[in-house]
Structure 1
Amino acid sequence: MKIIITVFAILSLNLVSAQELSKDQEEIHQILNSFMHSIIAKDSATFKSLFFEENVNWIGVMKEKTQTKRLVKPVVTKNYFTSSYKAFFQSIMKDKKSEEKFENIQIQNDDAIASVTFDYSFWSEDSMTNWGKEYWQLVKANGRWKISSVIFSIEMSK
């Protein structure tokens, strides 16, 4: 009888952990949705609220095909750039219509940190400008998930 109760208790604890994990993953999916919708709506307040304080890594790396095209220009040497989420948002304000789409989303997390990987495509004025793979690191700060790092590859459409 003690064995059955012990097994039941262990299974119950695992079920509770799975439910918490599911709740965290739902919250992380909401961050992804808010990110996409804030770009479409050009909602800077919502966009800014998704990030962890001021120091967020933002790194883009050109894929080989794109970098080869870029090297034709004599001033281009690096295949990467660093920026910030604020500069990114300012850049999309120039276009009348911008959208970023996510596919193949994979989330790994515990109750404090998370990693999100997905394929993205960026659209400006209904034309895809670039696409690639994107990786986010998130932290759960004061009970809320926040993006702490964004790293992505870039393949330009033209």
Structure 2
Amino acid sequence: MSERQAQTGFTLVELLAGLAIAAILVLPLADLLRTGADSARITRAALDLNENARLALGRIARTAADTPEAKAVTDVAPASWLAPVTYTLTGTDLVERKAGISSVIASNVAAFELSAPEVVDGRPLLAIALTLSAEGTTVTRTRTVRVGPRTPDGEQP
């Protein structure tokens, strides 16, 4: 006489039901994780753009402060205000040319503008505006600096 042994484990229907319930519970979590990863990517892109803009503006501001001769900005074109250094927008790269050497100082540049809103004591105030854009994020930063070095008595050399 054979005795029927008690079976342990789950049936196929029970396993499928368990998987369906788990999928219903995990699906919103996966969407939440994807949204969080997208948010982190956009935030990282904005931080990178801010850092790139800050570095480029700092470099241009140092060049302006070290320009030996502050020209009357009404007499010359903006591109030559910081001569012998020039800045041009080539595609999406901001290129600095100095002594025949070209260097990309910022990428993903959407707009770049130099303006001189005023001149005080023969030293023009240079306004620099830089807009960078990448991965759906746009960052605009501005900086103002007086062109030309200062002497100890506050007058331009």
Q: Greater Rg, structure 1 or structure 2? A: 2
**Structure-2-length-normalised TM-score:** 0.40
**Structure-1-length-normalised TM-score:** 0.39
Greater fraction of residues in strand: 1
